[in-house]
Amino acid sequence: MKPKHPREKLASDAQQKDVELTKLLDIVEKDIEALVSIRLSEERETSRHQQFVERITYNLLGRPYTLYAIIIIVLLWVLYNIIGALFGWQRLDPPPFSDLQGVIGFIALLTTTAVLITQNRQARLDDQRTHLDLELSLLIDRKVSKVIELIEELRRDIPNVQNRHDPQANIMQESADPAQVLSTFQQNYENVVREDQAPF
C-alpha cells in the first residue's frame, strides 16, 4: 500500500476534524433544544393573567423612559398649578397637590404588586433550576466516584502496577452525602458567625 501524499493526509485530517466538529455541534444543538423545550414548557404553564402582568412589568414599568415620563408629568402638573395662577388659570390641584399624591400612591401600589407577582414566579423558577443543578451535581458526583472505583479496581488487577494503599482514593470512591455536607456547612457557618460576633 502506497503511503499517502502529504496533501491527501492533510485533506484526510481536515475531514476528520470536520466530522468531530459536526458531532460536537450536534451535541450542542441537542442541549440547546433541551433548554428551549424546558423554557417553552415553563411558558405554557404560565396563565394569561401572569403573562399580561409580566409584559407590563418588562415592557412598561421596567423601562427608563417610564421614569422620564413620570418625572416630566409630575413637573408639568406642579408647574401648571403654581405658575398657572399667575396667568389667571384655574388650578386643578393646588398645593400641597393632594390629588397628585393620591395618583402617585395608587400607581406605586400597582407597580409594587406587579413587580411582586413577577418576582414570585421568577423565584419559583429559580428554585426549580437550583434543584435541577443539585440533582445534576449529585449525579456527576456518583459518576466520578464510580470512575475512581473502576480505576482503583483496574490498578489492583494489573500485575505490573504495584499495589498500594491510597486513602484519598478510598474516600473519593464514596459519593458525598448531601445532608451531611449541608449539616457540616451549617455548623461551620454558625461557628464563623459566632466568632465574628464575639466581643473583643
In a domain, residue 33? The reply is yes
Return the SS3 of 36: helix
Half-sphere exposure of 43 (CA within 13 A, CB side): 9
Total domains in the fold of the chain? 1
In a domain, residue 11? The reply is no
In a domain, residue 47? The reply is yes
In a domain, residue 170? The reply is no
In a domain, residue 110? The reply is no
Between 13 and 120, where is the model more confident?
120
In a domain, residue 49? The reply is yes
pLDDT tens figures, 114-135: 999 989 888 888 888 887 787 7
Q: Residue 122: what are its φ and ψ, rounded to 5°?
A: -65, -40
In a domain, residue 34? The reply is yes
Convert 53-68 to b/e letters by CB count within 10 Å (16 or more is b): bbebbeeebeeeeeee
Taking the chain, what is the end-to-end CA distance rounded to the nearest angstrom?
84
Query: In whole angstroms, what is the distance from residue 88 CA to residue 85 CA?
Result: 5
- Checking if the pLDDT of 15 tops 90, the result is no
Give the per-residue pLDDT at 48: 86
Confidence of residue 169 (pLDDT cuts 50, 70, 90): low
In the chain, the largest separation of any two C-alpha atoms, in whole Å, equals 106
pTM (global) more than 0.75:
no
Half-sphere exposure of 171 (CA within 13 A, CB side): 3
Give the per-residue pLDDT at 71: 93
Structural domain including 34 reads 19-53
In a domain, residue 45? The reply is yes
Residues 6+ apart with CB under 8 A from 85: 91
Give the per-residue pLDDT at 54: 86
pLDDT tens figures, 42-51: 777 788 888 8
